[in-house]
Amino acid sequence: MILSQVRQGALSSNKLLLICGTGWLFDAMDVGLLSFVLAALKLEWGLSAAQLGLIGSVNSIGMAVGAFVFGLYADRKGRKSAFMITLLMFSIASGLSAFAWGFGSLLVLRFFIGMGLGGELPVASTLVSESVPPEVRGRVVVLLESFWAVGWLLAALIAYFLIPLPSVGWRGAMILCALPAFYALYLRFRLPDSPHYLQLSQKEKKSAFRHKIAALWAPELRRASVMLWIVWFCVVFSYYGMFLWLPSVMMLKGFDMVKSFGYVLVMTLAQLPGYFTVAWLIERAGRKAVLVVYLLGTLISAYFFGVASSAPQLLLSGSLLSFFNLGAWGALYAYTPEQYATSIRATGAGMAAAVGRIGGIFGPLLVGALVASGVPISGIFALFSLAILLAVLAIMLLGQETRQRAL
């Protein structure tokens, strides 16, 4: 087993992956539930497509702020501290959102949920990346990312079985998202900080924020930073534009809410083999090749999902979209921290994620605006395919292979 090769001080690699992966799972469950909650809110509150898009975009604004702030914080105060704070922030705000009394209050709470989510993801991947040897680092980070599929699967199950129940509804589902607050207390005692980070001098840890940000644009890192920012923007733009709207798109194509939730549940199952195949390939074929192939698969699948009309076509293309897109995400999270030195690694990963979240702001808003304007779903998904193509070109022209590179 690959994880038997990983050395992790006082804490075994299996436990490290499980601890961080569980936090990742909770993140995914919240994001996944949001896509179903949007579909439910459309019916319960009578929200327009533009309002639904705004909810998704406010979530991404919070994620952009969180990725930037907590990336800097993690390089200054440690990966463990940042991980716990962000987990607490999004879980408490998620629980409170169950009591939202209107559109405005929900927007405010979604901002804080997004801030916690956006901060946690790059910090967790940096922590795990720094805690394993280079020969298996890519696989372990992809396995960490595979917990995202489990979280989405839980969200789909909750949405399918609980949200349609009058006694539960979307509010009951959001209360479940408060549970990670208790998990953060467990992390306080069980999670070690990154060994790479602990070896930094106090001077390196306390370096001014502006110096860390400026270091990302030093001549030797400028190319990597440009590449990452383009890729993150395009991938997040397309992901949140497509996946936050997935249940709603199914309803726009003529299926009722329960049936739409069931179809999305089936599509979500395809995420797991997407991650596992990338985990197997990434140390053999390298980061660049895997990213390019899986993003091209995403591009093609998105186009065919947009033009699909029958249930079998939607299930096949939607499942392939989940397989390739989430596999690409796993490779991207493995690839990103490897571009930077330890003293600026969380800052670099956080900045790339923050730029990506800007794309996540525009994606849901754009879908809402285009749907309201009568643009067909096929045209909207073709636009996301073009964004993925730009990411592929950036990787091919600017990316460097980092397989088994020592951190």
CATH number of the domain within which 28 lies:
1.20.1250.20
In the prediction, which pLDDT does 281 show?
Answer: 94
What pLDDT score was predicted for residue 407?
65
Residue 116 CA to residue 230 CA, distance in Å, equals 23
Q: Is residue 200 part of a domain?
A: no
User: Is 407 a domain residue?
Assistant: no
* pLDDT given at position 367: 82
Q: Is residue 1 part of a domain?
A: no
Residue 221 counted as domain residue: yes
What pLDDT, on a 0 to 100 scale, did the predictor assign at position 12? 59
Task: Give domain status of residue 176, yes or no.
Answer: yes
Q: In the prediction, which pLDDT does 257 show?
A: 66
Predicted pLDDT of residue 11: 53
Range of the domain at 73: 13-185+208-398
How many structural domains does the chain have? 1
CA separation for the pair 231, 76 (Å, rounded)? 26
Please tell me the predicted confidence (pLDDT) of residue 258.
64
- Let me know if residue 403 belongs to a domain: no
- Each of the 407 residues of the chain gets a pLDDT tens digit; together they read 444 443 434 355 677 788 888 888 888 888 888 878 887 888 888 888 788 878 878 888 998 999 999 998 998 889 989 988 998 898 899 889 989 888 999 999 999 999 998 898 889 888 888 888 788 788 888 898 889 888 888 888 888 888 888 888 888 888 888 887 777 777 777 778 888 888 887 877 777 677 788 888 888 999 999 999 999 999 999 988 887 777 777 777 777 766 777 777 788 888 889 999 999 999 999 999 999 999 999 999 999 988 887 878 888 988 999 999 999 999 999 999 999 988 899 999 999 999 998 888 888 788 888 888 888 888 988 999 999 999 999 999 999 988 877 66
Task: Report if residue 191 sits inside a domain.
Answer: no
